[in-house]
Amino acid sequence: MDISDFEEAAGAQFSSLLSWKGRDDEKDDDNKGPETRIENVQPPRRPPGKPSNKIRSWTLEILTLVGAILSEGSIFAVLFYMNDNALSKWPVQNQITLNAAISVFSTLFKSLLLVSVASCIIQAKWTHFKQPRTMYDMHRYDRATRSAKGSLLLLLNNRPFWSLASIGAIIMVFSVLLDAATQQLIEFRSDSVRIVDENQGGMLSLSTVYDTGAKKNNLGRFDYHTFDMRMQAAAINGLSGFLTPMNFECTLSECRWNDNEIYTTLGFGSNCKNVTSISTEDCGFPNVTISTPNVGKTCNVTTPGNNTIGWFYSQSSTRTDIVITSKPSVGINTYYEPTDVVSNPTNLLNFAMFRMYGNKNDQVDFLPWDLIECSIDLVGYKYSGMSVKNSSLQIEDIRRLALQKGIARGTYLGSMIDFTSVEGNHTFVANSLDLQIVRTYLKSNIFDGELESGDTDQSMSVPLGPLLLRSRNITAAVSMMAQSMTNVISQSDNSTNIYGDAFEQQPIVHVRWLYFALPGLLLLITAILLFSTISKAKRSKPVVWKISGTEMLAHQIVNWHNQNAEEIGNTVVDASARQLKIMLADDMTFQISP
């Protein structure tokens, strides 16, 4: 029997007892069996010397309040531990889910809390009836302990409004929101979570050394077996719009590298600039320029980097459309003196590219053209913010490091040159012969030659540069070439594998603490209500009856009702009631059975 059923029984017994009276006449009806006259029932007595303890009568409510506090504390501990952590960190996820655990504690909290609240409302009922009240108020108080609806009706009809019963009813009403508040406590957000597993992670190859083992024979000729074909292929790929990728691996969908570490690699960098307006143009005649068509003319254009372009135009035959010329640096020539300090030792190659637009046969008064000059240098790179997402390597910050030449170690057959970054003092090493091979290939096979339009007998053996760059953005194409060549160095035999952490998209637990305020507030108010009710019950004449109908029935017996409730006590009444037998007669009155 739950609290509400017990209250209904108590209310029914109370109604019956209103018609229960002493009977002095003996009944002759043999079917009713023997009767015991109620005035002969002796009232119970508390054992002498045993003090009354009203607090003891509230032991259950105090314990349930403590249980509610522990339940709410358990919810807080779980939320505090899991807040902003991955759901996978829930230690007992194979036994019970996080939501289920919070739901269990929340249900336990609500049940234990309302036990104390219901007892306080019923105890307030007896205080309420110390003044003349309608009998229906008994029903209102009973319903207030059963549901939020009953509590709301009690609030609307209770007089005076502000009382302990009203506070209990308010708690009952707002307890309806506890389940909804509990459901809103946790929000799951998807985020990357580091996976602690030695078999899971990322790997990236970087190298501060460029040395393929290139060498010369005793005649000072390059050994073709040592040519770096991957570097030559990377240069063509870059100019063609295909980037040679870096060497990396990631076992999961995302990997990251520690930003607190310094990641450097040796590579190549490019710098291009439009020098059309600052170049020197010489067509051999005054007031004759490249842009103004003439029957036939030859012009030379010299760039700020001292690259000279020769251009020819014939209205009846040919026109030079594209010219590329390059000037190799002398800074890496270590044929005789590998330890010599030379000017600009990290510059690999300078080239200039002339392009004329439009068709040769166009009848125009002005021929548009431009001139781009680029340099290709040996540089260092410093990476930070490296990550792999969905098989794509991303580097948030790439810083180019200018290098200065250090000591060259070796002979005319080959030497290793030390380089130091101007910023940060990072060290790099390069084989001088490898650099010479790269420089020679770029000059002779790519950045040299011209393309003509019109009636020309131009050979098909045109270097790749004019063909690959005739319609591309030169700055972007050369930059991609340098990046591709850098990536070849980073995955060479001298590379070092840099390991990172693997991450996985997982749900992250985010606690919305605002919704935790409701159960906390109800718990605080319930504690105040309970101890206020205990204090008031201790001072008032009706002892702690709460929801029990036993005491109410007992105190209606003729020989008991004049007894001081303080002297009888609930415990004594309960003990006597266990032995006293009553029965409901046909006239809806209770009789004492022997």
What domain range is 278 assigned to?
202-504
233 and 282 belong to one structural domain: yes
| Cα–Cα nearest to 235, from 246, 244, 222, 226 | 244
180 and 229 belong to one structural domain: no
- pLDDT under 70 in the chain at which residues? 1-56, 160, 217-226, 293-296, 314-318, 329-345, 358-366, 411-414, 454-463, 540-577, 579-580, 584, 588-594
87 and 143 belong to one structural domain: yes
pLDDT of residue 558: 45
The single-letter DSSP state of residue 83 is T
Contact call for residues 377 and 451 (beta carbons, < 8 A)? no
Domain count, the chain: 2
Q: Report the SS3 class of residue 144.
A: helix
Alpha carbons 257 and 388: distance in angstroms, whole number: 9
271 and 349 belong to one structural domain: yes
Which tokens sit at 232?
A: 């030559």
Domain membership of residue 190 (yes or no) is no
340 and 431 belong to one structural domain: yes
248 and 356 belong to one structural domain: yes
383 and 486 belong to one structural domain: yes
Alpha-carbon distances, residue 154 vs 67, 161, 513 (angstroms): 27, 9, 32
pLDDT of residue 482: 96
174 and 209 belong to one structural domain: no
Last residue within a domain, chosen from 504, 526, 556? 504
pLDDT of residue 319: 72
Domain membership of residue 410 (yes or no) is yes
Domain membership of residue 222 (yes or no) is yes
pLDDT of residue 376: 94
Residue-by-residue DSSP string for 360-420: TT---S---EEEEEEEEEEEEEEEEEEEEETTEEEEEEEEEE-EEEEEEEEETTEEEEEEE
493 and 531 belong to one structural domain: no
Which tokens sit at 139?
A: 């029903």
The single-letter DSSP state of residue 36 is B
Alpha carbons 388 and 396: distance in angstroms, whole number: 11
279 and 341 belong to one structural domain: yes
| Cα–Cα nearest to 188, from 546, 502, 506 | 506
Task: Give residue-wise pLDDT tens across range 495-552.
Answer: 999 999 998 888 999 999 999 999 999 999 999 999 988 888 777 665 556 655 666 6
pLDDT of residue 462: 65
HSE toward the beta carbon, residue 410, CA cutoff 13 A? 22
pLDDT of residue 227: 76
380 and 461 belong to one structural domain: yes
Domain membership of residue 196 (yes or no) is no
Which tokens sit at 511?
A: 């606690």
Domain membership of residue 217 (yes or no) is yes
Domain membership of residue 360 (yes or no) is yes
Domain membership of residue 557 (yes or no) is no
Last residue within a domain, chosen from 475, 504, 533? 504
| Cα–Cα nearest to 279, from 350, 354, 365 | 354
Alpha-carbon distances, residue 482 vs 361, 407, 457, 485, 527 (angstroms): 37, 25, 33, 5, 74
pLDDT of residue 284: 77
pLDDT of residue 98: 92
404 and 432 belong to one structural domain: yes
Domain membership of residue 129 (yes or no) is yes
